[in-house]
Amino acid sequence: MVAKKVCIVGSGNFGCAMAKIIARNTARHADFETGVTMWMFEEMVEHKGIEKKLSEVFNETHENVKYLPGVELPSNIKAEPDLKKAVEAADIYIWVLPHQFVPKIVSSMGPIKPGAVSVSLIKGGLELEGGKLGLCSDLLRKLLGHSVSVLMGANVANEMATDQFCEATLGCREIEHQAMLLKLFNCLTFHVQAVDDIAAVELCGALKNVVALGAGFCDGLDFGGNTKAAIIRIGLAEMMDFIRFFFPEAKDATFFESCGVADLITTCFGGRNRKCAEAFIRGKGAKTWTDVEKELLNGQKLQGTLTAEELWPVMKQHDLFGRLPLFTMIYQIAFEGKAADCIVKLPANTRTLCKHVTGKQRGERCRKHVRNNSPVLLLLGLLFVAGRAAGYCHAVKLTAPAFSALGGRPALRCSLTA
């Protein structure tokens, strides 16, 4: 078998953290060429008092001194600022850059090798085409003309880069690609589970950033844990409702993979969207989102606000405002000047994480879910155990992705029978 060449398209904070995992795996699996090329947008940085090109500094030091300082990446990664040279003859493309740049990047790439495949780590990029919701992976599939899988999960880049345990979910329909891609991503500190539910995996990765804005609003108002927990729960319910509206075939279990509830937990307690939303509220109208982004993100891009803006016309066209009151309120606070404390003035909430059924149907469904180890009931039934595990995480100073992982897939592996 001919070893496959891997190219990472993007070199920011998350891209470099993922590159560290990928490069280690290409070095230990014969399925891949050892060397990994990473396309790096060229910019000037000051390094040891001298202004130099970022790609040159990276290739000399194996450190992205601007976006992931203090972390040495494997020596088999080469930064290439020339896009056409970076992607030339690649068999596997890993996409990890802000979604708004995708069309321009693809149009500048040149010929794509026949038989190549892509994996998108991009969160966001929603659009309506003829009333149908289009995803960023759909756009990549259309532009590239080949198979596109997705990888999402509770993955804070700085923690991944220091080898702290976390998980991710690979959304991949082609069985023949799953084993190869799992070899590329899975390792001792980064556990990857493959599912075929691409739309749900990808949309969870996008929508959780909107919910994280709501969590950040709570922090900016100095609300406590109870309030944030309520926002997270309502947010998860609305994520599920939105996804099922456009993709009714979405599977319950997907929402309880790392891409779903675990990523939502991590993002609402850690990530850049929560942090910027808190700063936006504390600014009391004196700072725009652009101001906050420039002040806090060191050149990185905020995705939650972009996704909220993309959601708005979709919700409007399909009359989803009443059905998704939290998403609606988050947008109005972020962009229409609504008072931030309205985040807790939602309509009386009867929403649950299960479909609405009553009486005998509900009893039978519950019994069926228990027999099938439904993730919803397992999560409830194992809440005490997960709480104990979370305590152990804190005791040994594990962080949000590890915490959310212990509350997620390992718990789902426990056996529960009716």
Are residues 200 and 173 in contact, defined by beta-carbon separation less than 8 angstroms?
A: no
255-267 as b/e: b if 16+ CB within 10 A? bbbbbbbbbbbbb
81 to each of 35, 43, 46, how far by Cα in Å?
Answer: 16, 9, 17
Contact at 8 Å (CB) between 166 and 154?
yes
Residue 5 is a catalytic residue? no
Provide CB contacts within 8 A for 218, sequence distance 6+. 227, 228, 231, 343, 344
Residue in 20, 66, 123, 208 annotated catalytic: 208
Rg (CA), the chain: 21
| CB-based contact 344:338 (threshold 8 Å) | no
What distance in Å separates the CA atoms of residue 306 and residue 333, rounded to the nearest whole number?
Answer: 14
Amino acid at position 13, single letter? N
Name the residue with tokens 């993002």: 267
CB 255 within 8 A of CB 240: yes
Alpha helices in 221-319 (DSSP H): 225-246, 263-269, 272-282, 289-296, 304-317
Q: Which residues are catalytic?
A: 208
